[in-house]
Structure formats: C-alpha cells, structure tokens
Amino acid sequence: MQDFIEINFGPQHPSTHGVLRLKAKLDGEIVKEIEPVIGYLHRNAEKLCEMTFYADNLVYFDRMDYVASMLMESGYLEAAEKILNIVPPERVLWIRVIMNELSRIASHLVWAGAFGLDLGMLTPFFYCFAERDKVLEVFTEICGSRQETNYMSIGGVYQDITPGIVDHIEAFLESFPKRLEEIYKIFVGNDVFISRNKGIGVMSREVAIDYGVTGPMLRASGVNYDVRKAEPYLVYDKLNFEVPVSYKGDNLARFLVRFEEMRQSVHILKQAIRKIPDGPFFNPKAKKSMMIRLRGDGEYYARTESSKGEFGVYIVADGGVKPYRVHVRSPTFKNLSVVQELAKDQMIADMVAILGSVDLVFGEVDR
C-alpha cells in the first residue's frame, strides 16, 4: 500500500500563470495524478455580452486573452460584422492584419519569458518584456492604450494608421529579428534547457486532435492546421507565409514552433506594411453615433487563429441591439484539458514545464 502526498498547487502559485488550482497526488517527486480545477477567474463575460451593445462588447473581448487583445477583437468582429451586415473597407482589413500579427508577437514574447521563469531562467523574461514593450509602444501610439487596446470598432478601426506609425512599425521590424535570435540563442544555446524540454510532455497527434487542441500545440504534434490557411479571413490569403510544424510533439517542439511563428509574423508584417491600401478607415454605415443603434440578425460562427489556437466566436442574434447569445470557443480551455493526460507520471519539475508550454491565459480559459 502506497501513501501519496496530496498537494494543492495554486490557485495562487508561481507556476500556474494565474489562478489555476491543481490537485496533485505525489509519489515523492512523481506526479501520479493531477486534476485541474478552474473557474477562479470566471468573470461571466458571456453573460455580460448579452447585456451590452454590439460595439461595447469589445471591452469584454479585450480582457479575454489579455496578452493579445487585438486578436480577440478581430475574432469577435469577424462574427459581429457578419451578424450586423457591415462590411469593413479594404484598408481596415490590412490594418487588422498588422495589429493581429503585432499582438501575436507580443503574446508569444510574454509566453517565452514566463516559460523561462518556469524553468528557473531569470533573465530572458526581461529581454522578452523589453521587446514586448516596444510592441506596446506602437499600440499606445496608434490607439492610446497599452494592453487592453479597444482599437477595432464595428466596421473599421477607431483611429487611422498614420505614416509616423508605419515608420515606427518598420523601425521595430528592423530591430526585432536580431533581438529575437539573441533571445532564441539564450534558450537553445543552453544544454540544460534542451535536456529539460526534449522528450518531455510528448503529445501524440491522435491525443491532440481528440482533446481538441489547436494552435502551436497542435502544430508541434505534427498537424498542419492553421485557420489562417485553412479558412482564410481578413486578407491572409493575399499574404505569403508558412505554417511551422514539428512532428516531435514535446515541449521543445512547442517552443520552436512558437519562435518560428514569431519569425513568420515578422515576415507577414513586412509584406502587409508595404501593401496597405489607401481609403477610409471605417464603414460609414457604422459611424460613431450609430454605436448603440446597430441591430443584428441570424447566427454566425467565426473562427480565427489567435496566438493560442483556434479562437471561435459564436453569436446568435434576435434582431435587437444586443446579442442574444455569445459563446466563445477558447483555445486555452481545450489546451489545458490535455494537461492531465500529459503530466501523468512525470516529475513535478516536468509538470511545471508542461504547464508552461501550454501558454495559459486564464482570462480566456474561464472567461
């Protein structure tokens, strides 16, 4: 008869990236069983969305995946604009692509820094955040807010992108790849880092699909599936980029896929910033005084590729000024559910690394 140590990780624990509680049964150092308990950040966003105007709902979507709020906004607007029958002008689509990719870079940088902290590397965190701050400077310049941007509006964006901002983004794109490679080398140039991640938390392709895992985690398990390619939205079909895939399925593969994604994002940005057409930056049908009068009908499910995976927004409208039902398919919610499979019979240290590699953001898991 074996005795297990029962231990509660969290809800406030440095490795859980927020408010996750893990009920773990330990046999010495080995995790025999874990049960994630979520809901510590359940902020009833879906209920509140039913009580708020279409235009104002962006406030709640901003705060879902709070490290990549632009991606959330464009994901919501993909659905909301179809519900409201408003088509944004061409220029807006390009601006949104630029913002999406900048946001993706910021999100992955936060992840990389936090992943380093999980493994005990203190320094890369600061380099990642210094780079992220440069992205946020662009956001501040373009819309006036660092993190919860509330930049995109129905049928357009709130403020136009100016030549000065384009220069700023170009300067960032000039300096960023070099810094990215440096950060990359700090990680992979380290023997211990490789040994902590190679072959740890291996997720097979079948398990990944069965659990509904998407995004970089799925691609690291060898599935070439990216919503930007599979069902192009905005203007992703006019841009030239590659989807990074790895067949290893371990922590290291997820790390490499995310870094490659950042490089691809830079590649996309470089194209988009040159191709951005002239024109209005919002649809006059959705002008500002109409914000509280827009009515929608039908139901629509839009999926977009957020930095964590497939982000879906399902809106049911009943002809009123407020949505009837909003449901969010949050990628992290599903990616987290696979952790109890991956972390079984692993060491505590590996469990922490696996949790880190999932890229958890609780605003999105609990909503």
Judged by CB under 8 A, the chain residues 90 through 129 that form the site for other proteins are 110, 116-123, 125-127, 129
Instruction: Examine residue 271 and tell whether it contacts other proteins (CB under 8 A).
Output: no
Nearer to other proteins, 84 or 272 (CB): 84
Handedness of CA 155, 104, 361, 128 (dihedral sign): negative
- Residue closer to other proteins, measured from CB, 47 or 238: 47
Q: Which of 27, 167, 170, 182 binds other proteins (CB under 8 A)?
A: 182
Q: Show Cβ contacts of residue 224 under 8 Å, excluding neighbours closer than 6 positions.
A: 243, 245
Does residue 87 belong to the site contacting other proteins (CB under 8 A)? no
Q: Which residues pair with 111 in a beta bridge?
A: none
Stretch that binds other proteins, among 91-99, 169-177, 182-190, 273-281 (CB under 8 A): 182-190
203 CB-near residues (< 8 Å, 6+ apart):
213, 217, 220, 221, 249, 250, 338, 341, 342
The strand pair at 30-37 and 325-329 is best described as unpaired
Cα-flanking dihedrals φ and ψ of residue 198, to 5°? -70, 125
Angle at 231 between CA 228 and CA 234, to 5 degrees: 60
Least distance CB 119 / other proteins (angstroms): 4
Question: Binding residue for other proteins (CB under 8 A) from 80, 154, 234, 253?
Answer: 253
**Residue with smaller CB distance to other proteins, 28 or 277:** 28
Please report how close the Cβ of residue 90 comes to other proteins at its closest, in angstroms.
21
Helix (H), strand (E) at residue 7: strand 5-9
Chain residues 315-344 in contact with other proteins, contact rule CB under 8 A: 316, 324-325, 327, 329, 333-334, 337
∠ CA(275), CA(278), CA(283), 5° rounding? Answer: 120
Interaction with other proteins in 54-83: which residues (CB under 8 A)?
A: 55-60, 63, 66-67, 82-83
Specify the residue, 132 or 308, whose C-beta has the smaller distance to other proteins.
Answer: 132
Nearer to other proteins, 146 or 270 (CB): 146
CA distances from 168 to 56, 162, 171, 172, 176 (A): 29, 10, 5, 6, 12
Pairing of strands 346-347, 310-316: unpaired
> What's the rounded Cα separation, in Å, for the pair 26 and 101?
41
In single-letter form, the type of residue at position 171 comes to A
Is residue 362 within 8 A of residue 336, CB to CB? The reply is no
In the complex, minimum distance from the CB of residue 276 to other proteins, in angstroms, rounded to a whole number: 19
For residue 122, give the DSSP letter. -
Segment contacting other proteins (CB under 8 A): 88-96, 97-105, 266-274, 310-318?
A: 310-318
**345 touching other proteins, by CB under 8 A:** no
* Smaller CB separation from other proteins, 38 or 93: 38
Q: How many residues bind other proteins (CB under 8 A)?
A: 134
Q: If binding is defined by CB under 8 A, does position 288 make contact with other proteins?
A: yes
- Could you give the C-alpha distances from 130 to 66, 67, 106, 125, 185, in angstroms and in order? 18, 15, 10, 9, 17
Window contacting other proteins (CB under 8 A); options: 38-46, 86-94, 96-104, 271-279: 38-46
> Residues 191 to 250: which contact other proteins by CB under 8 A?
191-196, 198, 207, 209-212, 223-225, 230-231, 242-248
Taking the complex as a whole, the smallest distance from the CB of residue 333 to other proteins amounts, in Å, to 7
Return d(Cα 52, Cα 59) in angstroms, integer: 10
Ranges within 4-33 binding other proteins (CB under 8 A): 5, 7-8, 11-15, 18-19, 26, 28-29
Among 25, 32, 146, 285, binds other proteins (CB under 8 A): 146
Residue 291 touches other proteins, criterion: CB under 8 A: yes
